[in-house]
Amino acid sequence: MYLQHFGLNEFPFSITPDTSYYFASASYQDALNTVIFAVTTGEGFIKVTGEVGTGKTLLCRKLMSSLDQSYKIAYVPNPYLEPQSLLMVLAEELNISLPSDTQVTQHLILNALTHALLNFARDNIKVVVCLDEVQAMPIETLEALRLLSNLETEKRKLLQVVIFGQPELEDKLNHPSIRQLKQRITFDYQLDLLSRDEMAYYLNHRLSIAGYHGSRMFGRIALYLMYFHSKGVPRLINILAHKALLATYGKGKHQVGVREVLAAVSDTQSIETTWRKIGLKSLSLTMLFGLFGIILLMFINNPKLY
């Protein structure tokens, strides 16, 4: 592939969440600081929402790796769980043994969890449950989670819950049957998309982590087009950057240009653009030169675009 060509140790734009590539943009770092503060002060429910591809799972994993050994963490990435299944997953995540010689019921699991949570509190260990993609979780399961979070001592909650989800999670929380859960959300954070400047730093950050030490990888106009088509969504940025690097490597070049970005855009089904509708191959040279001229004028008249 292109690793040796660009002097990279690994692929810099994988869409798999990897905390070593965490990028502390203003919004993401603010969200992380907010959640860590809420967890350390013993708040009940904390909610973080963001559009598809904005890095909620990565933020969740960064949170978990940021907490020290005084915290016991249960991570639930699968939202499609019935109430009893959720309780069983929590028991497994917290290393709670359940009787094997009797039928496991929801009541039995709840008793085991309660006993374990009291023991954790006695040992001054805080339990944090992180749930991902909660907008897809059944309402009955959310209600079971709320009931579990009722457990507390005279001084603090036995369980803290951080939920991550897409914006439509708000609609689910407005359901009358779980209005009490919404009232318990003490911190609510909405992730922002990356700005144009942040995207440029983001690309350089990931390249650096992957071992790149060369000159600027993306040309200025290529960066502008990357931002125009990705809208600052990290996942789309990664997809476009990876494909653009492949196209650049295929041409034996060492800097991503306009044609490579447009090729990446035309090959990405998740991006609805004018390029796809009219077909990149059908664009005449006149249209291409006209477009490039307009973009160049934008850069000349607005130095901030550099």
Q: Give, as one character, the DSSP assignment of residue 42.
A: T
Structure tokens, 230 = 């990705």
The mean per-residue pLDDT over the stretch 144-172 comes to: 87
Contacts of 245 (CB under 8 A, 6+ apart): 2, 6, 13, 217, 256, 260
Q: How confident is the model at residue 277 (pLDDT cuts 50, 70, 90)?
A: very low
The type of residue at 14 is S
Cα–Cα dist 245/40, whole Å = 42
Lowest pLDDT segment from 1-10, 178-187, 213-222, 281-290? 281-290
3-state secondary structure of 58: helix
Encode pLDDT of 51-107 as tens digits: 999 999 999 999 999 999 999 999 999 999 999 999 999 999 999 988 776 678 888
Task: Please give the pLDDT value at position 94.
Answer: 94
Find how far residue 109's CA is from the centre of its chain: 31
Task: Please give the pLDDT value at position 272.
Answer: 61
**Domains of the chain, start order:** 26-190 (3.40.50.300), 195-305 (1.10.8)
- Which residue pairs, CB below 8 angstroms and at least 24 apart, start in 115-118? 116/91, 117/151, 117/158, 117/159, 118/153, 118/158
Torsion of CA 209, 131, 85, 177, to 10 degrees: -160
Task: Please give the pLDDT value at position 129.
Answer: 95
The mean per-residue pLDDT over the stretch 265-291 comes to: 55
3-state secondary structure of 43: coil
Q: 275-293 burial by CB neighbour count: b if 16+ within 10 A, else e?
A: beeeeeeeeeeeeeeeeee
Q: How confident is the model at residue 293 (pLDDT cuts 50, 70, 90)?
A: low
Rg (CA), the chain: 24
Count Cβ atoms below 10 Å from residue 52 Cβ, excluding itself: 11
Lowest pLDDT segment from 1-10, 34-43, 145-154, 214-223? 145-154
Task: Please give the pLDDT value at position 139.
Answer: 93
